[in-house]
Structure 1
Amino acid sequence: MNAGKRARLTRIGTDGQYVIVPMDHGITMGAVKGLKDIESTIDAVTRGGADAVLTQRGIADRVHPNKNDAGYIAHLNGSTTIGPDENDKRTTGTVEDAIRVGADAVSFHINVGSTYEREQIEELSTLTSEADRYGLPVLAMAYARGPEIDPEADGYNQAVGHAVRLAEELGSDVVKTGYTGDAESFQHVVESTSLPVVIAGGSKGTDEETLDMVRGAMDAGAAGISMGRSIFQHDEPEKIARAVSAVVHDDADAVDALREAGLAVEA
């Protein structure tokens, strides 16, 4: 890894651990709760301890004045929930575009096992080569998704492990993927790659469920989270960001993290 990548990775994480809040959902879902006034949301989550925020490059001017010295990641592909197939992610920018808008890293989504796997493999490979020339880290959002993949089936963690290994094989620097439900099964995923593994937020649950998931991932050896709606759509995004950060960076348990952040704990 070159010096530029090492330096920029320190801007999007802390001591090799990551609390990233992706807010690229404006392309996917539109101006949903938390994204209309994205300036206030970015200010809140970064005050709460997020190491970095992530958006599509067109939002960069709304990011930088409000991110409280946190890192910025430009996401470079996307699709919509109202289109014919949300798994068909298409390129939305280049490494040079990301540099022009002040990004510290770029990210790219790939659905391993989907109909579009071949194209997305080629596109991620091209992106990592280009980013390496500029010393820009790549966060690969590598999911196991497709007609033959059942998240409820035995061995799902094998498919997720395959996805994160693919991300490393293609030259990524950090990999995001879905949590497999418990620390024991997720350990296989973490052990499938030498890259730092961060988990996605998944379906929005209670605060305690969210923190339990983060705790389980960290116990399995994960390097943190890249969690969107569970944070930016929270009624108190600063507080939930602070609680998640406590689990990731301070090794807190879920209940203690919630209490210290000022969030209610279920009886």
Structure 2
Amino acid sequence: MKITRTVKKILDNYESDCPGTKANLARILMHGRLGGSGKMVILPVDQGFEHGPARSFAPNPDAYDPHYHYQLAIDAGLNAYAAPLGPLEAGADTFAGAIPTILKVNSANSLSTNKDQAVTASVMDALRLGCSAIGFTIYPGSEDQYEMMEEIREMSEEAKSVGLAVVMWSYPRGGKLDKA
């Protein structure tokens, strides 16, 4: 894979990361319609886990099939597809090498009033599935924010030690935050 100057410049900022991590980040940055531009669009699909499949997918029944989301990301020319363990496992063999994948290693659900996420997958799961990265969500402002920060620090260290990139989603929640 030939790397553009723009992507090379981005990778130069990751000098402390191992070559495997930089290679996986390059794989994501060089893939899809925005490949090489230094910009990326990732399709994250965890709504079926977070909100339940019917609430998320009933308006579009094709979305119940995990292969649908892989194909959607590929057809849209996106840089990567991110999902929890089950949906990635369901299409990992069929879509191996077709699009970089990101294993979302923690998840919540809408039944809980607690603003926290449970770790539902591992770095080893990401390696087994051929993922380019792990993804993790934190909620700054929640009562569990420090625990979440510690979890991603540990998982990030493990992921980078085996050459995986790390993506973090961060949404302010709970605590003294209000919707305004």
Identity value in percent: 28
Aligned to 2:42: 20
Offset of residue 145 of structure 1:
2.0
Report the Cα distance in structure 2 between the residues aligned to 1:142 and 1:20, rounded to whole angstroms: 15
Could you tell me which of 86, 89, 106 is aligned with 2:134? Answer: 106
Could you tell me which of 110, 125, 137 is aligned with 1:97? Answer: 125
> Which one-letter code corresponds to 1:76 in the other structure?
V
Aligned to 1:138: 166
In the alignment of these two chains, the number of paired residues is 151
* Cα distance change, pair 66–40 in 1 and its aligned pair in 2 (3 A): farther
C-alpha root-mean-square deviation of aligned residues, in Å?
1.9
Residue 39 (str. 1) matches residue 67 (str. 2)? yes
Q: 5+ residue gaps in structure 2?
A: 1-16, 30-34
Report the Cα distance in structure 2 between the residues aligned to 1:131 and 1:44, rounded to whole angstroms: 27
Could you tell me which of 53, 58, 80 is aligned with 2:109? Answer: 80
* Cα distance change, pair 36–102 in 1 and its aligned pair in 2 (3 A): same
* Cα distance change, pair 4–68 in 1 and its aligned pair in 2 (3 A): closer
For normalisation by structure 1, the TM-score amounts to 0.53
* Cα distance change, pair 81–132 in 1 and its aligned pair in 2 (3 A): same
Report the Cα distance in structure 2 between the residues aligned to 1:98 and 1:68, rounded to whole angstroms: 14
Report the Cα distance in structure 2 between the residues aligned to 1:112 and 1:44, rounded to whole angstroms: 31
1:153-232 superposed matches below 5 A = none
Offset of residue 37 of structure 1:
2.0
> Which one-letter code corresponds to 1:38 in the other structure?
P
For normalisation by structure 2, the TM-score amounts to 0.76
Offset of residue 66 of structure 1:
4.2
Q: Residue 47 of structure 1 contacts residue 68 of structure 1 at CA under 8 Å; is this kept in 2?
A: no
Aligned to 1:6: 22
Offset of residue 84 of structure 1:
2.9
